[in-house]
């Protein structure tokens, strides 16, 4: 992901790295996200760059939809991590609470979610959202 002038763009996830050195490496399959929070950030970035294949790949098989249709009119603009429980490198479960901002059809919006993640076979997977 480069700007029109060829300079690297910051990662959509909000960390102070370029897309290629941050979430882009996970999207490219160079490595797996080592924590639930980094998987959450990489999934947000996948929504931002339109990488539906990565979203499906990192979705737990028990809750994964058969296909995913991303709205081309929806632009994910900012991610705020509000909290996390577990989800570290040697754990097998984690919860990440976040607020994701977007613009859809010219209007701003916000998605709040507490997402559950599990680690299987050394890889973190998105399981589901915890109801309010």
pLDDT band at 121 (very low <50, low <70, confident <90, very high): very high
Q: How far is CA 86 from CA 20, 82, 100, 111, 132, in A?
A: 26, 14, 21, 22, 19
**pTM, two decimal places:** 0.93
Give the pLDDT score at 3.
52
Token pair listed for 29: 């399959």
Coil/strand/helix, residue 99? strand
Q: Measure the CA–CA gap between 36 and 95, rounded to whole angstroms.
A: 7
Question: Residue 67's beta-bridge partner residues?
Answer: none
Structural domains in the chain, CATH included, are: 19-63+74-130 (3.10.450.50)
pLDDT per residue as tens digits for the range 82-102: 999 999 999 999 999 999 999
- Do residues 96 and 37 make contact, with C-beta atoms less than 8 angstroms apart? yes
pLDDT at 1 over 60: no
Whether 105 contacts 73, CB under 8 Å? yes
CA gap 41, 4 in Å, rounded: 24
């Amino acid at each position: 992901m480069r700007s029109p002038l060829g300079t690297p763009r910051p990662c959509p996830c909000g960390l102070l790295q370029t897309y290629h050195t941050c979430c882009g490496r996970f999207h490219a399959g160079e490595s797996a996200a080592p924590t639930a929070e980094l998987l959450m950030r990489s999934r947000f970035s996948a929504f931002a760059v339109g990488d539906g294949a990565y979203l499906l790949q990192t979705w737990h098989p028990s809750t994964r939809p058969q296909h995913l249709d991303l709205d081309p009119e929806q632009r994910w603009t900012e991610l705020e991590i509000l909290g996390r429980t577990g989800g570290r490198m040697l754990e097998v479960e984690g919860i990440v609470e976040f607020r994701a901002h977007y613009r859809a059809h010219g209007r701003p919006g916000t998605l709040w979610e507490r997402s559950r993640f599990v680690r299987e076979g050394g890889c973190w997977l998105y399981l589901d959202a915890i109801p309010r």
